[in-house]
Structure 1
């Protein structure tokens, strides 16, 4: 069950504590790892959310997975979540931590989707253009969708710029569907 308020509060507490301890980047890397783990391994998420598995067993499982991979602060935070019965919210808390970290550091996520893979030089130019129009640092994510046929789709936190051939074709299709002269030709 999603609980954005809970995730926000725990993430804010962790960000404050990690900032106070000077481990903001280390915990951010740990949260990236936890986010990736929850995306690629649904069994771990199922274990965390299972009401049948005892908290002590969950603690052992998480310790086996995380001990050598995360910082002591993150490990203590995960232990706290298990003790409070909030371990099922760990993936959501990790996502919220990363969002708050990006806000704190002035990082804006931008996703560009193209029909074919884009050259690194072109991505650098796009990143420079996006940073020039904003006071934030840009974190560029790429995706490939062959259905676009050509062009690109650029997504930011609050804007979508669709310059794809697929959108152009759909616009033309709508124009022909609304054309009053076509039905009279039958």
Structure 2
């Protein structure tokens, strides 16, 4: 992240504006759309970051892409960012907005990485177990991903807590034990 402080401030101002306009849900939907575009289209992000493309061209392109698909609040906010020369930080601001909105709605994002894809029944079971373990309540947003290098097991991230129950970690622990001979005293 290039500038988390700036992203947090812009996200906070957009949340405040959305609260004033009573459009928190609409702006969140818009932000999710913009986040999807930023993640799926690196050329869009490069265009935003390019100093060669002038602000008026960026504004025109944003209007072509998003007009009618996002609310006037979000579109005006992006246009203001372009006027201020802050469009470079749009992907960061979008992520900061999602994080702050989740905090307001008391939604905990949980990342589950497994060696193979899991079915919905197991996903629902894990989601309910994690929701029961969270002390302050709220809802759980479970995001799953597959990483074959884990070999087996899973990695679970809940906020700043990290649980690694993968075979890869177990094998690395065994490897460390073999490379460091516990029976020979270090001098």
What is the SS of the residue equivalent to 2:16? helix
Does residue 45 of structure 1 match 2:45?
Answer: yes
CA distance in 1, matches of 2:107, 2:28: 13
- Residue in 1 that maps onto 2:67: 67
Q: Which residues in structure 2 correspond to 1:12-31 (within 5 Å)?
A: 12-31=12-31
CA distance in 1, matches of 2:78, 2:90: 8
- Using a 3 Å threshold, how does the CA distance of structure 1 residues 98 and 181 change in structure 2: closer, same or farther? same
- Offset at 1:56? 1.2
Does residue 177 of structure 1 match 2:179?
Answer: yes
Does residue 168 of structure 1 match 2:170?
Answer: yes
Deviations 1:9-64 (A, max 9, x none): 11101101111211111111111111111111122112212222221111111101
For normalisation by structure 1, the TM-score amounts to: 0.92
The root-mean-square deviation of aligned C-alpha atoms, in Å, is: 1.6
Aligned residues: 182
Which moves more between the two structures, 173-182 or 38-47? 173-182
- Residue in 2 that maps onto 1:138: 140
- Offset at 1:96? 0.6
Q: Which residues in structure 2 correspond to 1:43-122 (within 5 Å)?
A: 43-122=43-122
| Deviant stretches of 4+, over 3 Å | none
CA distance in 1, matches of 2:121, 2:141: 15
Where does structure 2 lack aligned partners over 5 or more consecutive residues? Answer: none
CA distance in 2, matches of 1:128, 1:109: 13
What is the SS of the residue equivalent to 2:142? strand
- Offset at 1:91? 1.2
CA distance in 1, matches of 2:126, 2:57: 48
Which moves more between the two structures, 168-177 or 68-77? 168-177
